[in-house]
Structure 1
Amino acid sequence: MLTRMQAVIGAGFGDEGKGRTVDALVANAQRDGLRPWVVRFNSGAQAGHTVVTPDGRRHVFHQLGSGTFLDAPTYLGAEVVLNPWLLDAELEALADLGVRAPRLLADPRAPVSVPWDAMINQALEHARGAGRHGSCGVGFGETVQRSQHPGYALQGADLMSEARVRARLTAIRHEYLPRRLREVGLPLDALGTFVDNPALVDRFVADALSLGRRFEWRTPLVLAEQDALVFEAAQGLRLDQDLGEFPYVTRSQTGLPGIARMAREAGLCALAPLQAHYVTRAYLTRHGAGPLPDELPAPPAPGFSDPTNRLNPYQGTLRFAHLDPDALRRDIRSDLQRIAISKTSSTPDRNETLTVHPMLEVTCLDQMGSTVFRRNGTSVPVADLAVATAAAVGIALAAEAWGPARTDRRVVTMDVQRRELVLQE
């Protein structure tokens, strides 16, 4: 019976510290005698959530949940895009770190990327030149687009049949691909000579069937049988397709709506409230194209370190700005409002309404100097930044992180109204 339900949501443009927060929440649940699952509900393999264990192992999670070092099972929902050709590499990297045969489950309706999705994605970004949208180049948005056409959608349930996979690939290549290229104004040769290589199809089929064997295919109803769930969002609220600035957004809702849909379908709403942990760094980052108000020419922190977000041909270099409490407040409240709307019915159904307890987490405090500047022109001692930010946002402060590992996370209880701060061991 579900007794604890938590979520980790990025409050910026991504890269806020979601991975380390999920890892810590899983460890806490296990310490309390629970057996948590990590649930991904949006995005796909373009996610990059870094976890550093107390013994120094480090991995950037893409398709697996960030509780994998702690043997927490991963469940991927119906809106998570599966990427067969990148999964084996991630599993091999984890095996080198001592993690073998993690338990993986997924909704059989989850869409599956095919190589031509990534090819179109990359060709479009190249064609846009200085007007790029900031894509990661793995084909997530193109997979979502193609999956809207039932005749060309490849789903997790299809990966148990080689004949089914090959038949769908044939339809995509000869019917959907030419149509999609015309829609976006690209010639076929923009995808390169590899587009019709038979080895491409054979390799993808092998990877797809391998993914099909590695996963247990279960509907969300299985979630109600667990005693603890940690929902792990990908990207951040400022990249949400509804809250961000189009076209520099991702093709998903990065906050509460996706969790609420899954919770309603699985019958979770009446079982436990959702503790929503909104995460931000002590400064603001953006990796990719798009607006970044008052962008800084260099990192705002003298101890800045980020080995995950390196220069790449699609997103460029990591960009920086001072933390903006007003934007945090606006975006978090906008996300909460999307859930509150469902409670305005004259006859609300308790089984359909998700109760949310929001709280804030601030990471990367160890990278700052003694004083932290904020976008509104004020400065705060680094020791007080998390408390001051939570007060400005108007929600409780749950924790602050002074390093990359879960042991560097300090759990905090702060009553926003009374401004009382209590540190817990």
Structure 2
Amino acid sequence: NSPEFFELLENENITINYISDLEYMKNICITADESITENYDTAVFEGAQGLMLDRDREDYFPNLTPTNTGMKNVRSILNRLEKRDTEICYVTRSYFTRHGAGRFDTECKEIRNKYNLYDKTNVTNEFQGNFRYGWFDLPEFMHSLKIDRKYALKDKISIAVTHLDMTDGMIICPTGKLMPEDIAYMAGTAKLYKSFGETAENIIENVPVFTRSM
């Protein structure tokens, strides 16, 4: 309800520039018919942002993204195509992050220095502020998976844990550390990927999920 907000809405220059930007994006974006995926043995759908930013997550309102970030949109496409084997890979860091305002239950400013955490791309800016770090929130992680998995049907589920090189190969929670195998076991996944760096050579895939250290 601030006057500055209404001034922005009524600013003709902003409206004109916004329309111009939309036209530019429209001209440079390449679209293809969904059936193009049937021309390839493997098709990869990359999700949008994190599951907790999904437009339907009212528990995090109003700091959400205006789209569905999990399997919902992908499932609507797959349902219209020829059936094929599908693997859904849920990717998480070994700790939690958030760029921008909003709820962050396990945020901890000290964790960044304790583990020397850094991010090359999500830099401080005037719109989102500082990149925020926190402990891995296991209950929230499991809850988010449960919500999204209703769109998984009978597809294969896997989990990938990244940034393990920064946390000594462990997932760091408020109450202690977990092995990546632990959360894969609890999530009931058959496959686990562990990433210890920025390249494909740093990824360990097809990790057997049978260990539980708790």
Instruction: Tell me the TM-score range normalised by the shorter chain.
Output: 0.7 to 0.9
Q: How far apart are 1:196 and its partner, in Å?
A: 7.0
1:242 aligns with 2:62: no
Task: Determine if contact 1:328/1:393 at 8 Å carries over to the other structure.
Answer: no
Which residue identity does 2:108 align to in structure 1? L
Structure-1 separation of matches of 2:96 and 2:111: 9
Task: Determine if contact 1:288/1:316 at 8 Å carries over to the other structure.
Answer: yes
Structure-2 separation of matches of 1:317 and 1:358: 33
Q: How far apart are 1:281 and its partner, in Å?
A: 0.5
String of CA shifts for 1:362-387, please: whole Å, max 9, x gaps: 00011124765313x1334xxxx211
Structure-1 separation of matches of 2:101 and 2:18: 32
Say if 1:209 and 1:389 are closer, same or farther in 2 by CA, change over 3 A: closer
Structure-1 separation of matches of 2:97 and 2:116: 15
Structure-1 separation of matches of 2:15 and 2:128: 27
1:230 aligns with 2:44: yes
Tell me the residue number matched to 2:158.
Answer: 359
Tell me the residue number matched to 1:170.
Answer: none
Query: So what's the TM-score if we normalise by structure 1?
Result: 0.44
Tell me the residue number matched to 1:255.
Answer: 70
1:392 to 166, 183, 186: 186
Tell me the residue number matched to 2:13.
Answer: 194
Q: How far apart are 1:186 and its partner, in Å?
A: 1.9
Say if 1:228 and 1:293 are closer, same or farther in 2 by CA, change over 3 A: same
Tell me the residue number matched to 1:316.
Answer: 129
Q: How far apart are 1:329 and its partner, in Å?
A: 1.5
Structure-1 separation of matches of 2:51 and 2:123: 22
SS in 1 for 2:121: coil
Query: So what's the TM-score if we normalise by structure 2?
Result: 0.83
SS in 2 for 1:224: helix
Which residue identity does 1:250 align to in structure 2? T
Task: Give runs of aligned pairs for residues 319-398 of structure 1, distance below 5 A.
Answer: 319-340=132-153, 355-369=154-168, 373-375=172-174, 377-380=175-178, 385-398=179-192
Structure-2 separation of matches of 1:406 and 1:236: 22
Tell me the residue number matched to 1:160.
Answer: none
Q: How far apart are 1:189 and its partner, in Å?
A: 6.8
**Identity of aligned pairs, percent?**
22
Tell me the residue number matched to 1:146.
Answer: none
Q: How far apart are 1:210 and its partner, in Å?
A: 4.4
Which structure would you say has the larger RCO, counting Cα contacts within 8 Å and 6 or more residues apart? 1
Task: Determine if contact 1:241/1:252 at 8 Å carries over to the other structure.
Answer: yes
Q: How far apart are 1:211 and its partner, in Å?
A: 1.6
Tell me the residue number matched to 1:408.
Answer: 202
Structure-1 separation of matches of 2:184 and 2:164: 14
SS in 2 for 1:362: strand
Say if 1:227 and 1:209 are closer, same or farther in 2 by CA, change over 3 A: same
Structure-1 separation of matches of 2:182 and 2:131: 26
Task: Determine if contact 1:326/1:392 at 8 Å carries over to the other structure.
Answer: no
Task: Determine if contact 1:303/1:366 at 8 Å carries over to the other structure.
Answer: no
5+ residue gaps, structure 2: none
Structure-2 separation of matches of 1:307 and 1:242: 29
Say if 1:290 and 1:412 are closer, same or farther in 2 by CA, change over 3 A: same
Q: How far apart are 1:218 and its partner, in Å?
A: 2.9
1:207 to 15, 20, 24: 24
Q: How far apart are 1:304 and its partner, in Å?
A: 1.4
Say if 1:356 and 1:205 are closer, same or farther in 2 by CA, change over 3 A: closer
String of CA shifts for 1:137-193, please: whole Å, max 9, x gaps: xxxxxxxxxxxxxxxxxxxxxxxxxxxxxxxxxxxxxxxxxxxxxxxx7246753x6
Structure-2 separation of matches of 1:283 and 1:241: 23
Q: How far apart are 1:394 and its partner, in Å?
A: 2.8
Aligned-residue RMSD, C-alpha: 3.1
Q: How far apart are 1:402 and its partner, in Å?
A: 0.6
Task: Determine if contact 2:181/2:192 at 8 Å carries over to the other structure.
Answer: no
SS in 2 for 1:233: coil
Write out the 4+ residue segments of structure 1 that deviate beyond 4 Å after TM superposition.
200-206, 369-372
Task: Determine if contact 2:169/2:196 at 8 Å carries over to the other structure.
Answer: no
Task: Determine if contact 1:364/1:403 at 8 Å carries over to the other structure.
Answer: yes
Say if 1:209 and 1:246 are closer, same or farther in 2 by CA, change over 3 A: closer
Task: Determine if contact 1:240/1:252 at 8 Å carries over to the other structure.
Answer: yes
Q: How far apart are 1:262 and its partner, in Å?
A: 0.9
Tell me the residue number matched to 2:96.
Answer: 284
Tell me the residue number matched to 1:99.
Answer: none
Structure-1 separation of matches of 2:22 and 2:95: 43
Structure-1 separation of matches of 2:8 and 2:169: 55
